[in-house]
Amino acid sequence: MTSEKVSLREAQWDERDLSGIWELCRRLFENYRTCTLNDFREIVRHRWLDNPWRRPGHVMGWVLDSPKDGIVGFVGLIPVGMKVGPHEVVGACGTAFVVTPAYRAYSISLYRKFVAWGDHQLLLDVTSGPVGNKLHATLKLGIKKIPVAGLQERFLWMIRPEMVLLWRLGSTRWKSWVRWIERGPVAWIVALLSRARFFRHRRVRFAGAGLPVERVKEFTDEFTQFWEDHKQAYGVAAIRTRAYLQWRYMDPPRFMGAATVLACRGNGRLLGYVAVMKRLQTVWAAPGRYVVTDLFYDKTRPDVLAGLMNGAFDFAKSEGGSVLEVSIMSPDLRERLRSQRPYIPPLVESWPYWYKAPTQELAGLCEAESWWPSGADGDANL
C-alpha cells in the first residue's frame, strides 16, 4: 500500500476524470482492452447523459484520486427506473467497481461511498463478483441479496459446443493444435463428438408456439402501453417504457454491441418481447455466446413465452452462435425453461444480485413482492 494521500471524491464530467477512468478500466477489465478514449466518451454519454432515468443531482460515481498516479479507483452509478410494488422509483445500479492493486487498501472506503447512496435511492448491484460479495457480506451496511431462490443457476443450450471446446483448448498447452483441428478433416469429428456429448442440451423447442415472432426495428408508444397493461403482474421489475427500451436496445454506441429484440404478436397486438445480445469474446467468454438479457410478456399466455424462447434460440442458431444462455431468472421462469433440458454448469459461489432500499416501506416491499430479475435491471448490456 502506498503512504501518499489519496482523495475519494465524486467523478467529474471533465477530460481528466474520463481519461483516467478509461485508462483504469482498459488496464483491469478484459472487455475494455480494445476500447478507445472516443469509444469510452460515447459509453459515458449513453450510460449517464442520455439515460432517460437521469435526474438532477445524480452523480456519475466516485473516484480514488492519487497525486502520484491519477485515477486509481472508480465505481459508477447508472440511473435505473424500477417498479417496487405499487411504486415506480428512480434508483441506481453500480457498475465498474475497480481499484488498482497498489491501492486496494482504499477499496473499502470506495465501497462504503457506493453503498451509502442506498440511503437516498434504491441501489442495485446486479453484476456483483467475488469481491463485491465479500464486501457485502462482511461489512453489513444494509445491502441484501434479492429474495429469489436459485439465482446463481445458468441455463445453457449448446448449439455448437465444438466452438466452446476449441476456445477452451486455445487457452491450454494444446492451443497449437486448435488451428490444425479447425482447418483439417478432424474438425467434423470434434463437432460430432461434442454434439453427441451435449445431445440432450442443444435446442429450445417449446411445443404449442404458433404465434409469429418478428424483429423490433423501433420502439413505439405501444410498448409503453404494454408495460402499463401488464406491470401489475410483476412485483419488482425494471420499468419498461418506450423511451427506456429505445435507449437500452436501439441507441447504444458501437463499442457496446447491439441487442436484437424479438416481439410476439397475436392479431396484430403486442404480447411480449425478448432481447438477445451477442457477448464480446474475451478470455472469459467463448465466441458466439448469445445471452437473453430481457424477457417481458403477458404472463397469462404461456404460448407467448414458448414463441419468444423458440425465436431467441432460432436467432442465435441462425447467427452462428455457439451457446444460448439465460441467467438471473425468477423461479417460475426457471421451471418453465427447465423443461427444455438446458445444460446447467456448476454453481459459482458469488451471488449476482443485491439491493439496498432507502426506506422501511420500500424495504418491506422488496422482501414481500415477487421479483422479475433480468439483465435489464443493471449494466448487463450497458
pLDDT digits (tens, 9 = 90+) for 2-53: 557 899 999 999 999 999 999 999 999 988 999 999 999 999 999 999 999 9
Task: Summarize the confidence of residues 222-231 as an average pLDDT.
Answer: 98
The answer to whether residues 36 and 92 touch, using CB atoms and an 8 Å cutoff, is no
Enter the DSSP assignment of 246: I
CB atoms inside a 10 Å sphere around CB 28: 15
Whether 380 has a pLDDT exceeding 80, the answer reads no
Of the candidates 296, 293, 334, 302, which has an alpha carbon nearest to the alpha carbon of residue 149?
334
Helix residue ranges per DSSP H, 175-301: 175-183, 186-197, 221-230, 242-245
Query: Which burial class, exposed, middle or buried, applies to 147 when counting CB atoms under 10 A from its CB (0-12, 13-18, 19+)?
Result: middle
DSSP three-state, residue 371: strand
Q: Are the C-beta atoms of residues 285 and 259 closer than 8 Å to each other?
A: no
Question: Looking at residues 345-369, what average pLDDT do you find?
Answer: 93
Rounded Cα distance, 157 and 155, in Å: 7
User: Can you give the pLDDT at residue 183?
Assistant: 67
CA distances from 266 to 69, 227, 234, 269 (A): 59, 17, 21, 5
* CA–CA dist 341, 356 (Å, integer): 35
CB of 313 closer than 8 Å to CB of 157: yes
Question: Is pLDDT at 382 greater than 80 in this prediction?
Answer: no
Other CB atoms closer than 10 Å to residue 22's CB: what's the count? 22
* Residue 374 host element (H or E): none
For the chain, what is the mean pLDDT?
A: 91
**What are the pLDDT digits (tens) for 237-287?**
999 999 999 999 999 888 887 799 999 999 999 999 999 999 876 656 788
Nearest C-alpha neighbor of 206 from the set 95, 71, 310: 310
Handedness of CA 153, 274, 130, 283 (dihedral sign): positive
Q: What is the three-class DSSP state of 300? A: coil
Ordered domains of the chain (ranges, CATH): 7-145 (3.40.630.30), 154-159+202-346 (3.40.630.30)
